[in-house]
Amino acid sequence: MTSPTAAAAKNAETIRAFADGQNNIDRQAIEALLTEDATFYPGARDALFEGREAFLDALLGWLNNHEDGRFKILTEIYTDDEAVNEWRFVAKTKDGADVDTHGIDYFKLRDGKILSKSSFRKV
């Protein structure tokens, strides 16, 4: 097996920090990892959030609907400008309903920052 390139290693660091930011619902930490023109495709049909602020508002709006939500990364793949992680998210909604979701996020990265995030979930 070959060792990862410096860019792939930086992308791994970015995506792991992003997961930590989601788990801590830390807007500033997540914001620091996004490009100004970042896009978020959350998986809902025709849903697209363009620009860092729209990305953050959509993601944090969803995260804030849950209590004690935790993402656990199950599998990771990194290249010089892309990343894929398989994850499991377990939480309770603010209304008390259990959430246990399995999915994959596909990321495009530029200079070690997230350019786009596309989420695919099993429900």
The pLDDT assigned to 108 comes to 99
Mean pLDDT of 33-55: 94
* Domains of the chain, each with CATH number or no CATH: 6-122 (3.10.450.50)
Mean pLDDT of the chain: 94
Cα gap 117→123, rounded to integer Å:
19
Give the distance, in angstroms, between the CA of residue 13 and the centroid of all CA atoms in the same chain.
Answer: 13
Six-digit token string for 110:
């530029």
Question: 39: Cβ–Cβ under 8 A, 6 or more apart, which residues?
Answer: 48, 49, 50, 51, 55, 115, 116, 117
Alpha helices, DSSP H, located in the chain: 6-23, 27-31, 52-63
pLDDT digits 0-9 by tens, 88-122? 999 999 999 999 999 999 999 999 999 999 999 98
